[in-house]
Structure 1
């Protein structure tokens, strides 16, 4: 077992810094990233419309009436409170019939939403209300002993005729009467005639007549007809036909025939024009055709596929626009010249795209979404300060471009996993073996596939986790799962046999020790360099973040808790962890419960419940995640906004958790000397110097600003003045400042043997 000092030296981490324990939610920094708009436009139905306003619904529930004149929004009058009460609605007016039983007609109250005026009509003896009314009358019926009805128009307060019998060609069976649509002047009804077929008829309020309408040729019944009631015309079009038959409401013997661009979709007469929605096209374009003939007009190039809604004044309503961010509910009514014109009833902001997955590493957030194409969106999140998070992604990719890496799956969050150094990885088959797919998460980033020799006969499953160039992943062999470790830069599987509990942190593989505890093995040398005891437990699940290590042990065996590695401090947890419900961050732990998330701050040496998030969550990697590399917790709320939440206190000091540095630099043979360091958290600036061991002269050869997860300079052997340094032995030193300002600088050193080209010899050409 290594001592604490040796462990700190080996890992580059320092002592535990105590912070005051918080008693409740802390004022930790929090950033938000709003969802991108869904590419499919939102839809809000029109429940009814009159000359002065429309009845709409709110996203949170509940109907309201909106004035066309001044934009007033009035909650819809809701008088149907009894078990048998019935609601009616026509344009700007809402009606409610009070009933004491299903068969006992009651008084009818009509409420005008535009004026606020209310009137109540007592039910006439022997009459029963229907579901429709006009500005002056209410349609009722009288039922005889044979269950056939006679229609009556009952006058309202402003109508002197209090009971007018409707002239109809026959008595109508009560069980077949149906008011299909109505406006201020009349209604279209269907009923079963004595001859047998279902009849479509026009009710004219002013004439008190019910007149059957001849259906278009080939239509067996009204169910095969698109019919609509305009202010001047009734339109009838057989389903599947491109010809609409229009009948004048003033004289039903006057007809017009209008050829429509498509046999599908809705039609509706507006004035002396026929408005047609083209359901045969993906855009659902809306065109207006003059009834008397002439050139058509395109009213909207793209509309909702939910179809037209007609108003009581002959207007039409439908949603449309150019795209989901420029979408509105429109009213189509006759303009000054009689032609249809558009006005906006209500703007329709886009629905949010559905977040499917979340990952966060080194302050890089990757959100998988569906809108309806599945894609990944990448954001660079500020790691300190008060700057807000950028709301537009730095890069994106979708499943149509790359199914292997760019298709998020909420049920399999391990489908794609970030490495922490600006890449994501996934698995796929390659021939008879396994390959790791690697994508750089930046605009124009490269995509490559790394076949892994020695994996023939294995089937890829999921990536468990990744850290820099090393990837820990699951395969199956004869339906038996196995864990493997691969170096994706070298393109090989390493000679280790991890247990199902294993995890990666930089170049260290943490796994179960024998008989108890866990070991940290250096993947570069194969040597065990670290050990942490867990009493008499071999944890079945191991997590590492910065200076912290968590192991899942049965509560009956050992007290659940987290170790701070450099100080050997054990922080016990006030709950019994469950597999798959706890995630370790840098100095904090997040627990998913049945009611939300609990965030426990560990940095004071005591587990303090610092924050609770009351919301239902699915699983880690789908709607919540943590940044192991010194960062925040992230989660998606019900509105698809991502929240990034920090905890109080200091994160672990900046450390190099892996490095790959060439020991020689022969500039006679190569153009550059390359080196890579993987820092444990984001860096704000860094500097690489070389010191000649003979002369003692130090030269700054490369500098850089922000780096997240990887510092990889390429040195050409020259000084800043452009001349080659002398051949000899040099000590290189990399220094870096943490972006979060916590802890001192990182400083790591090594040696390199430099050979410069002979004087006057041209250096090798750049490959």
Structure 2
């Protein structure tokens, strides 16, 4: 076993000592991607409104959840509070709140405190003898009740400090049954009440504060009970509309005998008179459009294309609602008469959209795929910088939603392995050939690979796998390049299989439940305390790696030069192995299934309080970072890029954070290749050649050397490549002329995008035949 100093010399891994975990945000290596706006508008509800402000409620619980916001200067104040005692009553009206204090059950009124939130002014009214407070008040009076000898209510208006009339009896057509009085709505001028008459009917009546009168109102035609009526108080008109009717009846507040009827254009929703216009919201339509129609007749106007259900009335007679055109243009509006009397909208506050809900995350070769819901489910793909301080692009390179393709574009937070990246610009998912049960006459299951190339110009294709008719696919366990490892159920038994995406076939291997893929190699349990890599191109074992301790792994992961194994049956804790040096690095936590993931030189553990990042690039497990927030599972709200990249996680605000670890990733390597040994350009347009790489590259070059002449020609070059280089060589030189037929040695060189380590070079041979030229070929130099 190498010591720390020798390990540093042999592998370039510095010999650092363990340090405490870093808390808080990372440095320059952290990138963030803000969520896209939700397509549904923000639903930041408001409770009520007055002439000077609006009462709102924040999500969550606790003090300050209810607050008042000033229209004039934007001040936000916690909803004013006053002691009400265990048996008291809270009141609220416009810009004021109040409470009646009672510390024991009693029918006797307690002192009433009223607070004006716009000014902060507080006044307390002594309990009126023989009276009881109701829950409504005006700027000058408070409505109270008195019981007569039969226990029925007589209404009183009790004057506040700025009102000289301290107790005015309301003139009413009859005493009111005490158990039937209900204040339905009120403003600064009066209130609408309901009560039960002496003959048992439910009555809707208008209380006028200035006149101290209570006047029963005739219900609209067809309405037999106030419950079936939509009603509101405007500054000039009382609006009544039978539910299900498009006709609103208006009664003048100056003279209740003066009435008008207005066709609102909708038989559902709320209506409210603003000046001499009736504003209506059609909450049963697709868009909840808001329109206004003149009381005196005339064409209606559209005020808002869309709105949130709930047209509310302010104590000043104005209308209030949330609406706009779309989620990014949404606000709370106040509706008041304009200079010509027609309703105008005044924006009281903007309502920026909520973030779209992140459902899943995957990251491979610096390509992030975020699944989201807004409200339809979709995938969004981003290409992030591999290193340096350049910010991440905030708009996706591509997107697809479940309406386009449910098989490939539906993120499932409960099944993060539903759609996975292959590391070469593709994503893959599993489906069956039909809907019937396995073995039924309707359908014999059968496995289909759904493949989407997310690169520009990429295609979507389905790959049915022969010989799988008795199989039912479950989830993908691992994917790398052209190979995918997944679980199937066959004859009621679960097992692992490997498929070649491009060849469209299952491979003749039998992986154990702990197997994993890295490029063209399938890593699995080997003999004794070792693991073995099988080359899937040849089916032969190509690598045998001792684990450095008694170990029969129950979890096995590979990333670059690193291997992670946990072997609870043998009593050994989880450990990482740096394969070039054979250095085994114990990890300081108990074995945990599905809660630890291996990156290139680091592991991430999902603990009870969040994520712990252990950096092993120094030769020792160093807890380098701690992310203290609740996480669901790998692939849902956190993931990592095992192709030399970062850790990614979603915070509570739906922003994705991508954080790196210190030290060098593994050297750039070719982890699979598919290169044709011949290229007959008489029959094909391009030479079939693909190389899969362990991490992104910044530049690459393909040369061919004529083995007869020794002449080397650069035939293709490129810049950024993420996981795959697949040049389309047509047999020509850079000047556009065909090379001679014959034997060539090809060489691919590539430079790592992270700037760490040397460039990679790989070579092979190809026999090239060029098309006939119609003349004598030129002499060789």
TM-score by length of 1: 0.95
Q: CA deviation at 1:450?
A: 0.7
- Number of aligned residue pairs: 751
2:465 match: 452
**Is contact 2:91-2:99 (8 Å) kept?**
yes
**Alignment partners' CA distance in 2, 1:261 and 1:599:** 62
**Alignment partners' CA distance in 1, 2:460 and 2:681:** 30
1:162 match: 166
Choose which of 303, 306, 331 in structure 1 pairs with 2:334. Answer: 331
**Alignment partners' CA distance in 1, 2:717 and 2:647:** 31
Matches within 5 A, 1:90-101: 90-101=93-104
**Is contact 2:731-2:739 (8 Å) kept?**
yes
**Alignment partners' CA distance in 2, 1:469 and 1:371:** 32
1:152 match: 156
**Is contact 1:420-1:467 (8 Å) kept?**
yes
1:391 matched to 2:404? The reply is no
Matches within 5 A, 1:87-236: 87-103=90-106, 104-144=108-148, 146-236=150-240
Q: Deviations over 1:44-84 (max 9, x none)?
A: 22222222222223456523322323333333212246333
1:85 matched to 2:98? The reply is no
**Is contact 1:676-1:711 (8 Å) kept?**
yes
Q: CA deviation at 1:464?
A: 1.3
Shift of the 550–81 alpha-carbon distance from structure 1 to 2, 3 Å rule, reads farther
Q: CA deviation at 1:19?
A: 5.3
Shift of the 48–671 alpha-carbon distance from structure 1 to 2, 3 Å rule, reads closer
Shift of the 119–24 alpha-carbon distance from structure 1 to 2, 3 Å rule, reads same
**Is contact 1:46-1:317 (8 Å) kept?**
no
Q: Deviations over 1:591-640 (max 9, x none)?
A: 11121111111111111111111111111111110111011111111111
1:461 matched to 2:456? The reply is no
2:507 match: 494
Query: Counterpart of 1:47 in 2: which secondary structure?
Result: strand
Q: Deviations over 1:206-258 (max 9, x none)?
A: 11111221212222311111111111111111111111111111121111111
1:753 match: 767
Q: Deviations over 1:480-535 (max 9, x none)?
A: 21211111111111101111111100000011123443211110111111122333
Choose which of 475, 498, 517 in structure 1 pairs with 2:530. Answer: 517
1:18 matched to 2:14? The reply is yes
Query: Counterpart of 1:172 in 2: which secondary structure?
Result: coil
**Alignment partners' CA distance in 2, 1:523 and 1:334:** 77
Q: Deviations over 1:109-129 (max 9, x none)?
A: 111222222211111112111
**Alignment partners' CA distance in 1, 2:208 and 2:741:** 105
**Alignment partners' CA distance in 1, 2:327 and 2:456:** 25
2:266 match: 262
Q: CA deviation at 1:338?
A: 1.4
**Is contact 1:683-1:706 (8 Å) kept?**
yes
1:684 matched to 2:725? The reply is no
Choose which of 66, 69, 72 in structure 2 pairs with 1:69. Answer: 72
Matches within 5 A, 1:41-60: 41-59=41-59
Q: Deviations over 1:653-709 (max 9, x none)?
A: 100000011111223332221210001000100001112223222111110000001
Matches within 5 A, 1:397-436: 397-430=400-433, 432=444, 433-436=446-449
1:364 matched to 2:367? The reply is yes
1:9 match: none
**Is contact 1:28-1:648 (8 Å) kept?**
no
1:31 match: 31
- Runs (5+) with no aligned partner, structure 1: 5-13
**Is contact 1:137-1:154 (8 Å) kept?**
yes
Query: Counterpart of 1:173 in 2: which secondary structure?
Result: coil
1:243 match: 247
1:7 match: none
Matches within 5 A, 1:475-494: 475-494=488-507
**Alignment partners' CA distance in 1, 2:742 and 2:118:** 92
Q: Deviations over 1:80-131 (max 9, x none)?
A: 4633332212212222222212435221111122222221111111211111
Between 632-641 and 45-54, the greater mean CA deviation after superposition:
45-54
Return the structure number with greater relative CO, CA threshold 8 A, min gap 6: 1
TM-score by length of 2: 0.93
- Runs (5+) with no aligned partner, structure 2: 3-9, 435-443
